[in-house]
Amino acid sequence: MELIFATGNPHKIKEAQEIAGKGITLISSVETGITEEIPEYGDTLNENALIKAEYVHKRCHKPCFADDTGLEVEALDGKPGVKSARYASEECDSSKNMDKLLNELEGKENRKARFRTVIALIIDNKVNYFEGILDGTIANEASGKEGFGYDPLFIPEGYNKTLAELTAEEKNSISHRAKALSSLTCFLSKEKLISNK
Ligand code: IMP
């Protein structure tokens, strides 16, 4: 089956296609002609994922999904959460976001955090949500060059290095986004909308 992914990011499409397998052909919303930035004004990950999926669905009238991810830090009551991209400023600057996070956590013993991805899928005019969580802790300083966003600060549970020190393959095998996408694929398979993974 064909499924539209509300993203203009070719890396996200490639990663998602590898997880989704051969039964699903992912098409980016950009390929369908939606080249403008899709608005994100929700207060929660679920709201944002739904807003983006509905935006695309209204234009294409085809099965589609959108994802939204946040870093939730326990000692900061779940912040930066839905505001992860713009934590320090509207610029979406990863290094400023990481500096702010380290400042906010200064002197705090509890460094527990998690990445949480929510996917909203619209199919047959019904909405289904899928979630993926990666637990870990926030390091005292950034290390590693791989990945993006908060990867240099995030040490996944069971590891002694940050996500930015893992290969893309290693990260994809444990990531929040991969878990949410796997749940989506399982759902489509159970609903008999795809025959293989
Ligand atoms: P998005 O919803 O995928 O655009 O993610 C929102 C923000 O969360 C990004 O701009 C990053 O700052 C952060 N983020 C999302 N996923 C990851 C990840 O896998 N590693 C590090 N940071 C991430």
Q: What is the pLDDT of residues 12-42, one digit of tens each?
A: 898 899 888 888 999 999 999 999 999 899 9
Distance CA 49, CA 29 (A): 14
Residue 59's region, left for phi above 0, alpha for psi from -120 to 50, else beta, is alpha
Distance CA 194, CA 197 (A): 8
Distance 85 CA to ligand 1 centre (A): 6
> Looking at ligand 1, which atom is closest to the CA of residue 97?
12
Residue 22 phi/psi, 5-degree rounding, is -75, -20
Strand partners, 128: 121
Residues 97-107, mean pLDDT to the nearest whole number: 98
pTM: 0.95
Ligand 1 touching residue 66 (CB < 6 A): no
Enumerate residues 6+ apart whose C-beta is below 8 A from 99: 88
- pLDDT at residue 98 greater than cutoff 50: yes
Q: What is the pLDDT of residues 61-96, one digit of tens each?
A: 999 999 999 999 999 999 999 999 999 999 999 999
Distance CA 93, CA 185 (A): 32
